[in-house]
A and B are shown apart, each in its own frame.
Chain A
Amino acid sequence: MSATILFSTTARVLRQLTHDRRTIVMVIALPLVLLTLVYYLFQNSPGTFDRIGLVMLCVFPFVLMFLITSIAMLRERTSGTLERLLTTPLHKLDLLFGYGIAFGLLAAVQAAAATALAYWAFDMHTAGSPGLVIVIAVADAILGMALGLFFSAFAASEFQAVQFMPLVAFPQVFLCGLFVARDQMAGWLHALSTVMPLTYAVQGLQEVGGHPDPTGLMWRDLCVVVGAAVLALGLAAATLRRRTG
């Protein structure tokens, strides 16, 4: 790996984004719009937004980053730029981490905006610090991004790539404890939720919601989310083959 190539790749991905202002606006604004919708949905049931809004703060960036990165990586593959890059001194990890840093920055802005809206406009209450909420939301966005990079390898077209989103994201959203508490799930569903990384992001946020100080469980959850993201990036690197048929 080379620091120069890593940073120029990060800069290149960010520059591509700056030529696509509408995408940036959508990435930042979309979670705000959806969060607003959720707020008014539960306006008449006190305390519900504190619970659901909080979880939403990590679900939106996860889903959105998954989609954006899987399409971005698919474009690299189908346009031939990936094949070309792999004939240059660029290391696979320069490319993957370049995407990781660039989209991670975007995710940080997105998470900060959504968190600010939830606390200030919608008066969300958590026992713990909003800073920790942002940290977990960004870690979760990076996880979504890493999974997107990995799953894009299995999509031959944009039509397929967008369908990986419901396939990968929806079951995790269903089973993360948002709709039904995990201890009330059937045994096999509970077992499934245990191997799904989004579960840990949600649990980490719930820990921040319920405890004034960061708990051991929260740190463990954060480590699981980051670990899963690193694992997914490693798997994604394995799918970048220099030689193809």
Chain B
Amino acid sequence: MASAVEVQDLVVIRGKKTVLHGISTAVPEGRVTGLLGPSGSGKTTLMRAIVGVQRVHSGRVGVLGHPAGASALRHQVGYVTQAPSIYADLTVRENARYFASLYPGVTHRDADQAIRDVGLAEAADQLVRTLSGGQHSRASLACALLGNPRLLILDEPTVGQDPVLRDELWQRFHALAAAGTTLVVSSHVMDEARRCDRLVLIREGRVVADDTPDAVRASAGTDDLENAFLRLIRQRNEVAA
């Protein structure tokens, strides 16, 4: 299967701290890849490097056949940061329509559709600063769905969402993947790992596991993903020691 993203020996140093210690991985096209790991493990930094907004020390990040951050990618990559980066002093609809205007051929109607897709139709004319945390991040997600990106990078999109909405969002992610979009979704909740087609587990800036959920379970010898990750981390520590 073709890869939408290829990362080779990526090293990122922020300040004096090495955040990513030579990461290599590949993200398959048209699949949902979960980026999992505890808070501070380097998930966001890896995502920023894929989007091309992170200064990297060494290594290579290729995205859809271009180096990450190339101007040709700006029509093709959607990015939702952890902090919902939309305008708090505009309504949801005004935000969506503004971001829609940045992509050629994307109309007001597409913007309204994206708002419905994330379940915010009722709140479309509400100022973003008056939304709840979960609504706020869904509004941000709606803005990333505009322009029909080939690659969607979503940093913890389900945080603060109620279980029903979280389920709906995951169904939407898979629907998008079925239509050919590649998704990279980060989470620190292991419960979400089982919903991914492929998993990349990161800990302290290193890849601990990079496989399908089934293969991860099999190699750790347990059916529970949370336990599987714990075992893999312990095995790794023993090898290192």
Contacts and interface: CB of A to CB of B under 8 A. Distances in A.
Place the interface of chain A in its size category.
20 to 34
A245 interface: yes
A118 to B, nearest CB: 32
Contacts of A89: 74-75, 102-104
Interface in A4-60: 4-5, 8-9, 11-12, 15-16, 19-20
Interface in A82-97: 83-90
Interface string B145-160: 0010000000000000
A12 B99 CA distance: 10
A98 B220 CA distance: 55
Nearest to B97: A8
B58 to A, nearest CB: 14
Nearest to B98: A12
Interface in B89-103: 89-90, 94, 98-99, 101-103
Contacts of A215: none
B34 interface: no
B108 to A, nearest CB: 11
A81 B87 contact: yes
A81 B83 CA distance: 10
B101 to A, nearest CB: 4
A166 to B, nearest CB: 26
A8 B83 contact: no
Given A5-B102, A243-B69, 11 more contacts: A4-B104, A5-B101, A12-B90, A16-B87, A19-B127, A84-B85, A88-B102, A90-B102, A243-B55, A244-B53, A245-B55
